[in-house]
């Protein structure tokens, strides 16, 4: 994602434009990848195109559109396609393709990669068992293919994994049980829509601001149910539906997190202990993205079967036209039924308004000088960090390391500094800044009385 963003920034010179373009490219990429995967799985052209459109407007993604790593689904879909190719015929080039696709998934969103890998345990195990029954040559071919995939992904991910493991060890990064429980997905979340449906469904509530609203849409669910219950397809199609259901069921269980604990028995804790990185995942409800993708796949399957049945149907031209119209209407409704609401946007900061202090920092301070923006966010709510996002945006003008920022994890040193800045510029806060290695502070005008700043002999005041 960063490589694409860097290219967009180099071409445009505008970080805001590049961000918007990156979001649009990711959404379009989701649709193209879903269409490709469905076509690879044998879905007809019209149904595959409809599935791609459903994926572009996937409710989960648009409800989380402010979290950039959660937007690109294409790497996950390419990984699934590569795995399907191996199930058809394991070869080393297909193993290499799987390794590259999984590495791309990890690089764009490590959480998605972990959740996908866990959801694929059962299907891959079944594949291995089936191949083992086909003889020694089949077992060796499959083992060789997965070995190539492991090497390819390992080579690509090694630098990133080393850094992540070092950070986890250095800072003791972990998630508390109550934090994870509070960000798990229960049954009620799957009956909550991020915004009103075009045709409201009885029993489905609308979540405030789309928070943990995982309902995929009534039309999609109805089509998916038809694929599982009413339609008869070939053995291969039934097998694909079985794999889809297995992935969806695993994703539901993973997303439930500690909500599935029974007394001292905790499947989530077991996974956190056994799977490196899973213990650092806070919002396990995000596994629901796989549930919604499975619903899209099954809905496309249903549409494809209906289109095929319509082609075989007899009767008058009017009856065939009515069937085509009903199938088309079902497809359109499935795509647009949860049309995303307009996002709450804020204009990017005008860089010219900040040229004074950013130019001073860039020209008058050492390149390794640490700066701190004051005041820090007043509380840990994400919306309280909106000014911090502005400072992070403007950091590219002066390129100095910052003591404050925003991320999923905050180092312990940041919390210590944060807690001691309540009465800036008193001696306690200045001592804390010095201990944190801060050399310069950028202070918002009007947030601290000028006389309080001037009274501190330890401060050298600049009004750039």
Report yes or no: 57 and 335 within 8 Å, Cβ to Cβ: yes
Q: What's the CA gap between 292 and 246, in Å, rounded?
A: 13
Q: What is the pTM of this model?
A: 0.91
124 contacts 243 by C-beta, under 8 angstroms: no
Residue 410 gets the label, from left (phi > 0), alpha (psi -120 to 50) or beta, of beta
Distance from C-alpha of 283 to C-alpha of 211, rounded to nearest angstrom: 12
Distance linking the first and last C-alpha atoms of the chain: 35
Q: What pLDDT was estimated at residue 412?
A: 79
Q: What are phi and psi of 373, to 5 degrees?
A: -95, 135
Q: Is 439 helix (H, G, I), strand (E, B) or coil?
A: strand
What are phi and psi for residue 372, nearest 5 degrees? -130, 135
Question: What single DSSP character describes residue 373?
Answer: E
Give dist(CA 185, CA 289) in Å, integer: 11
User: Can you count the helices (H) and strands (E) in the chain?
Assistant: 20, 4
The label of the residue with tokens 């309902």 reads 215
Instruction: Tell me how far apart the alpha carbons of residues 463 and 454 are, in angstroms, rounded to a whole number.
Output: 12
Q: How many CB atoms lie within 10 A of CB 135?
A: 10
Helix (H) or strand (E) holding 431: helix 427-435
pLDDT at 381: 84
Neighbouring C-beta atoms of residue 133, cutoff 10 Å:
8
Q: Which of 103, 31, 108 is nearest to 300 (CA)?
A: 31
Phi, psi of 452, deg, nearest 5: -70, -40
- Coil, strand or helix: which one is 47? helix
> Is the preceding omega at residue 425 within 30 degrees of 0, hence cis?
yes
How high is the pLDDT of residue 409?
Answer: 83
Sign of the torsion formed by the C-alpha atoms of 109, 112, 117 and 120: negative
pLDDT at 30: 98
Going through 354-443 in order, the beta strands assigned E by DSSP cover 370-374, 438-443
Nearest CA-CA partner of 60 in 229, 244, 251: 251
pLDDT of residue 258: 93
pLDDT at 177: 83
Q: Sign of torsion, CA 41 44 48 51? A: negative
In this structure, are strands 205-206 and 192-193 parallel, antiparallel, or unpaired?
Answer: parallel
Q: What is the pLDDT of residue 399?
A: 95
List per-block mean pLDDT (blocks of 10 residues) for the chain, which spans 464 residues: 93 91 97 98 95 97 93 98 95 97 96 96 91 87 95 96 88 84 93 91 83 92 90 74 94 95 89 90 95 97 90 78 91 96 86 92 94 90 89 93 88 86 86 90 82 68 50
**Chain mean position to CA 277:** 15
Q: What are the two backbone dihedrals, phi and then psi, of residue 458, each rounded to the nearest 5 degrees? A: -75, -10
Q: What is the pLDDT of residue 264?
A: 86
Tokens of 308: 């095929």
Q: How confident is the model at residue 461, as a pLDDT?
A: 54
Cβ-based burial of 299 (10 A; exposed 0-12, middle 13-18, buried ≥19): buried
Find how far residue 360's CA is from the centre of its chain. Answer: 38
Please name the residue ranges forming H helices in 109-186. 110-119, 121-132, 136-171, 177-182
Q: Give CA–CA dist 33/102, Å, rounded.
A: 14
């Amino acid at each position: 994602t960063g490589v694409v963003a860097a290219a967009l920034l180099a071409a445009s010179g505008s970080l805001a434009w590049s961000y918007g373009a990156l979001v649009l490219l990711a959404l379009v990429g989701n649709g193209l990848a879903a269409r490709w995967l469905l076509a690879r799985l044998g879905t007809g052209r019209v149904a595959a195109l409809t599935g791609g459109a459903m994926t572009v407007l996937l409710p989960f993604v648009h409800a989380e559109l402010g979290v950039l790593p959660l937007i690109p689904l294409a790497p996950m879909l390419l990984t699934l396609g590569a795995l399907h190719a191996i199930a058809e015929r394991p070869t080393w080039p297909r193993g290499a393709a799987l390794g590259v696709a999984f590495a791309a998934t990890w690089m764009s969103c490590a959480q998605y990669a972990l959740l996908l890998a866990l959801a694929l345990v059962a299907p891959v195990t079944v594949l291995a068992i089936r191949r083992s029954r086909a003889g020694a040559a089949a077992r060796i071919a499959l083992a060789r293919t997965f070995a190539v995939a492991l090497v390819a992904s390992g080579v690509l991910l090694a630098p990133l994994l080393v850094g992540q493991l070092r950070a986890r060890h250095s800072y003791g990064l972990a998630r508390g049980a109550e934090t994870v429980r509070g960000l798990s997905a229960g049954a009620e979340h799957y009956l909550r829509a991020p915004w009103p449906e075009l045709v409201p469904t009885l029993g489905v509530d609308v979540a405030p601001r789309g928070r943990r609203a995982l309902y995929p849409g009534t039309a999609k669910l109805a089509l998916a149910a038809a694929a599982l219950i009413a339609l008869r397809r070939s053995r291969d199609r039934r097998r694909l539906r079985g794999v889809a259901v297995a992935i969806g069921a695993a994703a539901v269980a993973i997303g439930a997190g500690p909500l599935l604990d029974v007394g001292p028995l905790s499947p989530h804790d077991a996974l956190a202990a056994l799977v490196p990185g899973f213990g650092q995942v806070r919002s396990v409800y995000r596994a629901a993205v796989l549930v919604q993708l499975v619903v899209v796949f099954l809905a496309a399957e249903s549409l494809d079967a209906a289109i095929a049945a319509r082609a075989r149907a007899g009767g008058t031209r009017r009856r065939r036209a009515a069937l085509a119209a009903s199938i088309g209407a079902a497809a359109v409704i499935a795509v647009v039924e949860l049309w995303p609401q307009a996002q709450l946007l804020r204009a990017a900061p005008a860089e010219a308004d900040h040229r004074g202090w950013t130019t001073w920092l860039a020209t008058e301070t050492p390149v390794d000088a640490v700066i701190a923006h004051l005041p820090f966010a007043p509380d840990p709510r994400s919306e309280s960090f909106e000014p911090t996002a502005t400072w992070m945006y403007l950091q590219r003008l002066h390129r100095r390391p910052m003591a404050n920022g925003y991320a999923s994890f905050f180092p312990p040193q940041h919390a210590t500094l944060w807690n001691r800045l309540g009465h800036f510029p008193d001696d306690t806060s200045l001592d804390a800044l010095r201990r944190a290695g801060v050399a310069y502070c950028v202070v918002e005008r009007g947030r601290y009385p000028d006389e309080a700043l001037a009274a501190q002999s330890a401060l050298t005041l600049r009004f750039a």
